[in-house]
Structure 1
């Protein structure tokens, strides 16, 4: 019987903002901000959120990301509302960013509040306007306490979102350790690079390989895709949304797995096959513990990995491809292309 503890889900910033919006509107139109509100998520789930720091027409929700290591876990998502000159208008308060580059689902100059959270708040405005007999003309200002500092730990600066966080969520639910959020950020990075007219992007497995590749090619920050372990997620999207030149950079271990055909490079989902490395080099490497140990024994293995990794990438996308293989210190072990 599986005794693995079940990980607890959490709520997106978009869901938290929607709940805070409902409480703030209730305060503005009904006179009292409630201590808790229930909202309806896109797939019909109806969670209840505790409300903190109520004002006359403002309210906050403390984000609970469940067991996911989310940078915004515990952040205060605050919404203030006021009458507008017509319709629903969204504003970026302190800690919420503004879009400065094309390619994102929100237009340049708009607050970084994504389409689904906007739609959820639109529905709350319509619901409460009907309940209180008011016109649905509301200005909604979303803030995140400390959001500007938190945003520095996210992809937002690279994506051209200035001044703070994005209000995100397509389902309202944070699923612990979800690969989907990371892959979606890679996709948005490709969208932004293409919209800005970049013809060369680079996907790297970590910070060291990114630093090396960026210096080698003199690439701007928004050309760098935080591929991590998700080579397949990046390459499949590039196949549908092509860029003329693609560099893949990474440590010898992860790029060895790519060279062997793995598209998910996480240690829990793919492993280096040392028997295959022995076949490639003609030397017995089955006693090695790591790919770095193998390449220390047989230095030409690094060149073989670079060539074979580039071939696997070329099987996925039609582009001018190069591969950069490094060690843990950032020394380039091999390049191909």
Structure 2
């Protein structure tokens, strides 16, 4: 680790080292502890914003409480391992095999799923441990590159968090096997208010969470994010957690900043080299809002199942960089492999694609 970062506070979720100036403005030891534990983010004015827990973490907490309550009483919280590997205590209740947990969204006040209740019911069985996605959990209405029609809308990282929580509870209670049925009573109603209908998920909400945490600025990014961009000599702007992870590996000499859908503002305040790197969906829709026009696809992810998708994407990227020579666009897949790199257009003179 470079000497200049040894005394700086590290965010264990994003792996960002906060400038000493920021932590120096924070007078609360307890606030700084929340930051180092990953439960809060530090802003440039020395204040903190609390992270919340994703639907995946909330689901896992309800399931663990349900299994624990088969043998224990007085449960008011459970400890789970989030998708990012950080252990946290999540409020949950459990009684006679039924576990409940309400989604806590921290300082992200515009979260549509904030407060939504997850209910898990656990029963012992002799056949083997089984998890059932019940009422209120959305299901895919059509095949996608990653999920088949009828599959519950539960991300792989969230499913692992849920199953790990159930297995931990089995170990703690010495119960050999259980069946756990998870439901979200207001899931279908809430799901209609989300983007699920547009991406082909019906009947409920999605259970997601690549880190297990809800960032406090998903729809209203803290000014501290843009402060980081403005202070960087070279910056990688990315849209999600997968992009954040692999961008750091691909471009270790750059400051990597997660901005979600706020790419335009991030690019406008950046200085020096700018790399826009991440999965195709948000980036291609930002570069070319009409990229799906004339195709049979409803989402960019569906479009990437077409063998010819790169041709369409490269044409859109080529048009974009003609007017934004300062931006390098790098599209990766979920394994971190580079699918498209606009640097190739410049070095080969392919801007006329």
Report the TM range for the smaller structure's normalisation. Answer: 0.5 to 0.7
1:315 — aligned with what? Answer: 345
CA RMSD in angstroms comes to 4.5
Shift of 1:39: 1.9
The worse-fitting range, judged by mean Cα deviation, of 62-71 and 150-159 is 150-159
Equivalence map 1:248-259=2 (5 Å) = 259=324
Count of residue pairs brought into register by the alignment: 242
Cα distance between partner residues in 2 of 1:61 and 1:257: 50
1:180 — aligned with what? Answer: 240
2:58/2:101 contact within 8 Å kept: yes
Equivalence map 1:292-331=2 (5 Å) = 315=345
Shift of 1:24: 0.8
Cα distance between partner residues in 2 of 1:123 and 1:162: 26
1:120 — aligned with what? Answer: 161
Structure 1 residues 7 and 213: CA distance shift in structure 2, 3 A: same
Shift of 1:170: 2.9
Shift of 1:221: 2.0
Q: Secondary structure at the match of 1:14?
A: helix
Cα distance between partner residues in 2 of 1:247 and 1:219: 19
1:222 maps onto 2:291 in alignment:
no
Cα distance between partner residues in 1 of 2:148 and 2:280: 13
Structure 1 residues 213 and 115: CA distance shift in structure 2, 3 A: closer
The worse-fitting range, judged by mean Cα deviation, of 16-25 and 255-264 is 255-264
1:36 — aligned with what? Answer: 77
2:179 to 113, 125, 139: 139
Cα distance between partner residues in 2 of 1:10 and 1:175: 7
2:285 to 197, 204, 219: 204
Cα distance between partner residues in 2 of 1:118 and 1:30: 24
Bigger radius of gyration among the two? 1
2:103/2:113 contact within 8 Å kept: yes
Shift of 1:118: 2.3
1:24/1:33 contact within 8 Å kept: no
Structure 1 residues 130 and 220: CA distance shift in structure 2, 3 A: closer
State the TM-score, normalizing by the size of structure 2.
Answer: 0.53
Q: Secondary structure at the match of 2:56?
A: helix
Shift of 1:15: 1.1
Q: Secondary structure at the match of 2:153?
A: coil
Cα distance between partner residues in 1 of 2:286 and 2:99: 40
Structure 1 residues 22 and 256: CA distance shift in structure 2, 3 A: same
1:23 — aligned with what? Answer: 65
Structure 1 residues 45 and 220: CA distance shift in structure 2, 3 A: closer
Structure 1 residues 116 and 7: CA distance shift in structure 2, 3 A: same
Cα distance between partner residues in 2 of 1:135 and 1:46: 24
Q: Secondary structure at the match of 1:102?
A: coil
1:246 maps onto 2:286 in alignment:
no
Cα distance between partner residues in 2 of 1:94 and 1:43: 27
1:98 — aligned with what? Answer: 139
More helix by share: 1
2:133/2:182 contact within 8 Å kept: yes
1:129 — aligned with what? Answer: 170
